[in-house]
Chain A
Amino acid sequence: MTTAGQLTHLPRIRRIEMREIVKRFPGVLANSKVNFDVNAGEVHALLGENGAGKSTLMRQLYGLYRPDEGQILIDGKAVEFHSPADAIRAGIGMIHQHFMLVPTLTVAQNVALGLKSSREPLLDLDRVSARISELSQAYGLKVDPSAYVWQLSVGEQQRVEIIKSLYRGASIIILDEPTAVLTPQEVNDLFATLKRMVGEGHGLVFISHKLHEVMEISDRVTVLRDGQTIGVRLTKEVTRDELVKMMVGREVKPLSPQPAKVGAVRLEIKDLRAMGDRGTEMLRGVNLQVHAGEIVGVAGVSGNGQRELAECLTGLRKATYGQILINGEDMTHAPLLKRMAAGQAYIPEERMRDGAIREFSVQENLFLRDHSAPQYRRGVFMDFSRMAARTRQLVDEFNVKTPRLDTPLKNLSGGNIQKLILARELSRKPVVLIAAQPTRGVDIGATEYIHKRLLEQRAAGTAILLISEDLDEIRTLSDRIAVMYEGQIIGVVERDQATVEQIGLMMAGVSKEDALQRRSDLAHLSYP
């Protein structure tokens, strides 16, 4: 790589083609004669549900797996990659969902990592920094080469990853779910960069399951389902609904909840205050009521106290002031077990950390709460046959797709794990359900299913508090929407009266009344 003087790399690859790719894992066909191609100067989206084979396909292109059958052609010439190093040398880069950066090193050090210095054995970080500056100018990737990675936001770290790829001369870049970790503003910045890269003649593969992003950024879409190519379309000639149908294999109808039959107050939060992890007050007097048979959505930009609120409700964070009442009974300082006994169920935000045990089987995870309930044990011994019968029943009832009941949980997809947690919590017939980010990172089919289940639970009279950063989800499911801002509920609006603009303004700290008034003036601040 002696091109440090050059201003931009001229992309070398004009076209990559993957032909009839077959990849088998023990007993399973992960890719079945998949065809895929990407040209210089386009964004080609690879769309599909979790487990459709998108990542497997791209890992073969990046040299992480080798195809069992089929060919990879670069500009018409067949190539074989034995490792990512081969792929990088050929001009292919990949931006992983989880960044591969060393936090304690600077941007320049991270970029230079693993590359030969131009003046071995000495470092050439000054040249690297200069080159980074050139690249960031050319592509609009604002980044300071001397900043430490741990100081950077997630969006900035992603830029470093992109620069790393460009620095290594990548002309075709694979982006694996690049927006999953970004805020809406950062997504806009990323898309601007991607457009610039395409303008410079790069070819981009955009892996995603988010339709509106695919519609916005891509030129072509390939849809995979169950390891097969369902079709390739020009983005401008296809509709969102068509793509959903190709992805899921059937139509997905939007939910239209029945009006709520609201009962008595089940969950009441009075002037609740609590400290955050950093010692600052994160809840500053939260007041909220949830009635039987209604869903109250808590909207807000992340970091405004939603997480702390959920933790106070489950008793894992101490409230410093105020009250939490379940069915009128004071639970402010009650331990978790007492809250559970009072009929509270909880779907935690971090499902793999707090909601399940990766190494435990499906069955063991289902009984995380009830393993010592009298009907499932004999003395200190667990009654495996009854547990298995119950597990089989719940797995069927909640559509959890698992090869066996003793399959370790880590072998299930995110959607199925969430359904399992849902099964565990809802089968307790809760009086109050706290659902935090219930569909984050879950595919369309499972999301639809989880939403349906939550609405059924609402019809059954459960009081549901839905905490979510997905505004669409909040608006679909909630009867009332409480907007959280800086540790307080800044306002509660009825679903039917709330516009996206109004909620968006409240999320930015504008009071409900002002938001209502200023709505017309600030229409340009609209949400997508």
Chain B
Amino acid sequence: MPPNLIAAKPLPQHKLNIDLKDVLFRASLPLLAMLAALLIGAVLLLLLRANPFQAYAAMVTGVFGSTSGFTQSLTKATPLLLVGLGICIAFRASVINIGAEGQIILGALAATWFSLAFRHWPGWLLIPAVLLVSFLAGAIWGFIPGILKARLSVNEILSTVMMNAIALQLMNLLIRGPLMDPAGIAAGTYLAQSERIPEQAWLPRLVPQTLLHAGAILAVVLAVLVYIFLWRTTIGYRIRAVGLNPDASRYAGINVSVYQALSLTLAGAFAGLAGAVEVIGVQHRLLEGITSGYGFSGIVAALFGGLHPLGLVPASWLFGSLLVGADKMQRAVQVPSALIDTILGLVVLFVVASNLLSRRWSSRRTIEISATEEVNS
């Protein structure tokens, strides 16, 4: 048979089915893992003499039973999604960003300072400017470990963790000093928080009487843009190439460390945005604990979403619901909050494990398929 004919042979029909099945399989696995974790959680609840049915019912109705619960889950999902997008870009370049906490803080700091410094600006100008400034502030916080890695091969896991500590102390210093709320000083309370930002800098609410703000829409739009960035642009192509095979990328003339540093910078920028939306969307001021741990749970959400920007959208919502539901559950059945953390921890553990498992299965499948495709060719 002339080889040209083989090369031009159309695709056999079954290929499509395999891919679809694979996608469904991979999507269902984390859900199954979550169920398994909740099952173990039920045993723990029983041990504490709480009724697991009542507890989980409270969890579900807490999220889906009311507008407030549902919008809360979306509000929590927003920073998770933003952080997760950055984590996802970094992961694609094989860079691990543990520094989202610090990058959120920098974004929040920048947002607070800017909206207070330019409080006379109109909202249509102020809000985009605040978002941009926070984006840049987070980017700088990501760029520092990025350039350290590129120039001096400093391990990014260590440096990003250190940058978290620096950011935290920087915020503590500022909200107890120059940024401290003058009203608190006047009243003598000296609360460690900033002045309230001007109202025109607030993100519009999507549902009245709730916390859900326009940042949620922004995050989803950005998820689509990140997808386009990674898979349609030359820069995204290089980031993925560097992450998958730095040696081959180097031979292709791609500057590996530049793209690793770039991916860390972008990761920081997205976390910075998360900090901004927390300030101008939810809290309307800077206060201690502004990150709510989103810098770490964002990593989990990213893994949850298969490190894919579009998979992250449902994944971060799911994780947000879990956070809200767990809170409601704790109040309904009166168990220690440590138990709630345990259940959340179990979910994370199971989902990450199922991720590994599905990768192993799919690689085994690939081996079989490659064997057959060789024969096929």
| Chain A residues within 8 Å of B, Cβ to Cβ | 25-30, 50-53, 55-56, 226-227, 314, 316, 335-337, 340, 346, 348, 350, 353-360, 364, 368-369, 371-372, 377, 380-382, 384, 395-396, 399-404, 407-408, 410-413, 416
Who on chain B is nearest to A340 by CB? B253
Q: For the complex, would chain B's binding face be called helix, strand, loop or mixed by DSSP majority?
A: helix
Q: In the complex, are the beta carbons of B4 and A29 less than 8 A apart?
A: no
Residues of chain A within 8 A (CB-CB) of B366 are: 408, 410-411
**Cβ-neighbour of A52 out of B9, B240, B375 (below 8 A):** B375
Q: In the complex, are the beta carbons of B4 and A399 less than 8 A apart?
A: yes
Given contacts A353-B245, A354-B251, contact A399 B11 (CB under 8 A): no
What separation, in Å, do the CA atoms of A40 and B133 have in the docked complex? 78
Residues of chain B within 8 A (CB-CB) of A27 are: 12, 14-15, 372
**Cβ-neighbour of B253 out of A336, A356, A360, A395 (below 8 A):** A336
Within 8 A of A (CB), among B327-377: 366, 368-377
| B235 CB within 8 Å of chain A | yes
| B8 CB within 8 Å of chain A | yes
Q: In the complex, are the beta carbons of A372 and B234 less than 8 A apart?
A: yes
Who on chain A is nearest to B231 by CB? A382
Who on chain B is nearest to A368 by CB? B252
Given contacts A25-B369, A399-B4, A401-B6, contact A346 B374 (CB under 8 A): no
Within 8 A of A (CB), among B8-46: 8-9, 11-12, 14-15, 18
Residues of chain A within 8 A (CB-CB) of B11 are: 403-404
What separation, in Å, do the CA atoms of A451 and B252 have in the docked complex? 23
Q: In the complex, are the beta carbons of B6 and A348 less than 8 A apart?
A: no
Within 8 A of A (CB), among B239-297: 240-241, 244-245, 247-253
Place the interface of chain B in its size category: 35 or more
Within 8 A of A (CB), among B97-130: none
Q: In the complex, are the beta carbons of A401 and B377 less than 8 A apart?
A: yes
Q: In the complex, are the beta carbons of A358 and B245 less than 8 A apart?
A: yes
**Cβ-neighbour of A371 out of B237, B369, B373, B376 (below 8 A):** B237
What separation, in Å, do the CA atoms of A249 and B247 have in the docked complex? 37
Residues of chain A within 8 A (CB-CB) of B250 are: 316, 336, 354
| Nearest CB on B from A27, distance (A) | 4
**Cβ-neighbour of A381 out of B232, B240, B377 (below 8 A):** B232
Which of B4, B232, B368, B369 gathers most chain A CB within 10 Å? B369
Q: In the complex, are the beta carbons of B375 and A29 less than 8 A apart?
A: yes
Given contacts A372-B234, A381-B233, A399-B7, contact A359 B375 (CB under 8 A): no
Q: In the complex, are the beta carbons of B248 and A400 less than 8 A apart?
A: no
Given contacts A369-B253, A371-B234, A411-B373, contact A360 B368 (CB under 8 A): no
| B188 CB within 8 Å of chain A | no
Who on chain B is nearest to A65 by CB? B368
Q: In the complex, are the beta carbons of B375 and A51 less than 8 A apart?
A: yes
Who on chain A is nearest to B2 by CB? A399
Which of B9, B370, B372 gathers most chain A CB within 10 Å? B372
Residues of chain A within 8 A (CB-CB) of B232 are: 381-382, 384
| B178 CB within 8 Å of chain A | no
Who on chain B is nearest to A336 by CB? B253
What separation, in Å, do the CA atoms of A350 and B251 have in the docked complex? 11
Residues of chain B within 8 A (CB-CB) of A227 are: 375
Residues of chain A within 8 A (CB-CB) of B208 are: none
Q: In the complex, are the beta carbons of B6 and A26 less than 8 A apart?
A: no
Q: In the complex, are the beta carbons of A403 and B376 less than 8 A apart?
A: yes
Q: A357-B244, A371-B237 are in contact. List 5 more A-B contacts (CB 8 A).
A: A25-B372, A336-B250, A354-B251, A380-B234, A403-B9
Q: In the complex, are the beta carbons of A353 and B247 less than 8 A apart?
A: yes
Question: Can you list 29 contacts pairing A with B, beta carbon distance less than 8 Å?
Answer: A26-B369, A28-B372, A51-B371, A51-B377, A53-B375, A316-B250, A335-B253, A346-B251, A350-B247, A353-B245, A354-B247, A358-B244, A358-B245, A369-B252, A369-B253, A372-B234, A381-B232, A382-B233, A395-B7, A396-B7, A401-B6, A402-B377, A403-B15, A403-B377, A407-B373, A410-B366, A412-B377, A413-B374, A416-B377
Given contacts A26-B372, A30-B372, A416-B377, contact A348 B234 (CB under 8 A): no
**Cβ-neighbour of A56 out of B6, B9, B252, B375 (below 8 A):** B375
Who on chain A is nearest to B15 by CB? A403
Residues of chain B within 8 A (CB-CB) of A340 are: 253
Which of B248, B251, B371, B375 gathers most chain A CB within 10 Å? B375
Residues of chain A within 8 A (CB-CB) of B15 are: 27, 403-404
Q: In the complex, are the beta carbons of B251 and A399 less than 8 A apart?
A: no
| Nearest CB on B from A475, distance (A) | 27
| Nearest CB on B from A172, distance (A) | 23
**Cβ-neighbour of A353 out of B9, B240, B248 (below 8 A):** B248
Q: In the complex, are the beta carbons of A30 and B371 less than 8 A apart?
A: yes
Q: In the complex, are the beta carbons of B248 and A50 less than 8 A apart?
A: no
What separation, in Å, do the CA atoms of A309 and B107 have in the docked complex? 49
| Nearest CB on B from A358, distance (A) | 7
**Cβ-neighbour of B248 out of A53, A56, A354 (below 8 A):** A354
Q: In the complex, are the beta carbons of A56 and B234 less than 8 A apart?
A: no
Residues of chain A within 8 A (CB-CB) of B234 are: 371-372, 377, 380-382
Residues of chain A within 8 A (CB-CB) of B374 are: 50-51, 412-413
| Nearest CB on A from B167, distance (A) | 31
Q: In the complex, are the beta carbons of B377 and A413 less than 8 A apart?
A: yes
Q: In the complex, are the beta carbons of B371 and A25 less than 8 A apart?
A: yes
Q: In the complex, are the beta carbons of A26 and B233 less than 8 A apart?
A: no
The 7 closest A-B pairs by CB, nearest first: A51-B374, A25-B372, A28-B372, A401-B377, A368-B252, A27-B14, A399-B3
| Nearest CB on A from B288, distance (A) | 40
Which of B233, B240, B252 gathers most chain A CB within 10 Å? B252
Residues of chain B within 8 A (CB-CB) of A356 are: 245, 248
What separation, in Å, do the CA atoms of A449 and B321 have in the docked complex? 58
| Nearest CB on B from A260, distance (A) | 28
Q: In the complex, are the beta carbons of A25 and B368 less than 8 A apart?
A: yes
| Nearest CB on A from B29, distance (A) | 20
Q: In the complex, are the beta carbons of B251 and A314 less than 8 A apart?
A: yes
Given contacts A348-B251, A357-B244, contact A28 B18 (CB under 8 A): no
